[in-house]
Structure 1
């Protein structure tokens, strides 16, 4: 819903104008309401064709809604869609025309990876790696879309060192995981959009406990509620309706590789011991 003082959205305008619309205009209204989140992707001619109305009816309908023209309504829809996407809401779709969907995604991911490389180059990655490699225990937390990232980071770190846990576990809370941590440990909070309030709450508790924290987040996030030891910002916006985690997973790989290298012989020994345990248990397919 629009906030106080902001102009009404497309659906609100349609609801207000509905009683006075002609049957032909109502056909356009139904199409516009169903496609309010991706209206920017349609030309006026396409709206007319898909709604089964004339181009004149389309123009008249949007003027009834208070727009100067369909072009103005389309521009507003594009702005609204961008605002929603910035919050992680899956709206819109891939750009019309141009190359195929795979090429569009690959090109966008390359751009995200380039931006990530520039950001990581400006950060003190050796200090981040030192924290993850040398901590007594490492706790990795992530909610919603961030949880698979947290789980993957935990699994990669666990190849090189022991005492790495992930949360929240299904049906569990995180208070039990946080209790007992102190300055000898490390907390990794994975908080990509759309974030829950839990991430900020956990950062505050960690600060009170004196636990050094690594925050993995995206450019749309505001500053953390309390200072953190390290903050890595990784772009996740995709070219269409959904976010892309290609750059995020590359960042996870960079961190895990760094920890394995920093652990030296102890890390190599653990990799060997884990592989031996896999063979003993018969857990993995032998190629």
Structure 2
């Protein structure tokens, strides 16, 4: 992997001139906001000339500051927390409106891309499968965990993998034609993800892959692929569209097996009361 600008600065810092070090230190201190600054901003905020700023970037391997900004946007698109929208760091009231608009756009893109027949097939799979195994790593793990909590209210045999600090093989080794794996593959995936997809694709179980656009290359190996945009005006990805999709799928399952689902929900509620497990 090509070193990002922060890594390049760290590797060359000792060889930089005093003025170049001032700019480099500022970049490291404000790394999350790098894409919202201009070369003139860096010159003014660090008290050095524009030529010094330009010279520093050339030493770091960038032909211009526009190349640096493109580099920062590429880092952001890979999932690194960086601000690429200059209005995201301010305190103006428009920020909330623009955040809402971005969330609505993500949700619209996620849901309008789903073929209703595909959705019904997935819901049928969630209902008819002997066992449903939900797999997620890093930021995908809480999504998998939340999906399990929704599904398990309507049906039994819904498992989450991997368990904390455990390996995966034990949970996957006996998967058969009657089983369904839901794999969450949102960006900044661990290295083993490639091997995991290959293994699951070779197994007789069905595979539902849910992720952002960076996981679309794995779509051909899955039985079903659902894409959820993570775009945000801030440095961090937004998983609102993914959570909405989870809710939609869980509700689809419940209505697909309404009688059994309601009976299970009632039985769970009785256990809540019997063990006094939940507060009013």
TM-score class, shorter: 0.7 to 0.9
State how many pairs are aligned.
Answer: 273
Q: Return the alpha-carbon distance in structure 1 between the equivalents of residues 11 and 191 of structure 2.
A: 33
Query: Aligned to 1:87, which of 78, 83, 93?
Result: 78
Query: Which deviations, in whole Å up to 9, do the C-alpha atoms of 1:190-238 show, x marking residues without a partner?
Result: 1111112333323333333300111111112242286221111111132
Q: Return the alpha-carbon distance in structure 2 between the equivalents of residues 43 and 171 of structure 1.
A: 43
State the partner residue of 1:109: 103
Query: Which deviations, in whole Å up to 9, do the C-alpha atoms of 1:107-146 show, x marking residues without a partner?
Result: 2111101111211246610000000011111111111110
Query: Aligned to 1:119, which of 113, 132, 135?
Result: 113
CA deviation after TM superposition for structure 1 residue 246, in Å: 0.2
Q: Secondary structure of the equivalent of 2:209?
A: strand
CA deviation after TM superposition for structure 1 residue 282, in Å: 0.8
- Which consecutive residues of structure 1, in runs of 5 or more, have no partner in the other structure? none
State the partner residue of 2:152: 158
Query: Aligned to 1:50, which of 45, 54, 70?
Result: 45
Q: Return the alpha-carbon distance in structure 1 between the equivalents of residues 22 and 191 of structure 2.
A: 41
- TM-score, scaled to structure 1: 0.84
Distance 1:58 1:227, change over 3 A: same
- More deviation in 240-249 or 218-227? 218-227
Contact 1:113 1:246 in 2 (8 A): yes
- TM-score, scaled to structure 2: 0.86
Distance 1:253 1:36, change over 3 A: closer
Cα-Cα RMSD:
2.8
Q: Secondary structure of the equivalent of 1:131?
A: helix
Rg comparison, structure with higher value: 1
Contact 2:209 2:219 in 1 (8 A): no
State the partner residue of 1:28: 23
Q: Return the alpha-carbon distance in structure 2 between the equivalents of residues 66 and 46 of structure 1.
A: 14
Q: Secondary structure of the equivalent of 1:285?
A: coil
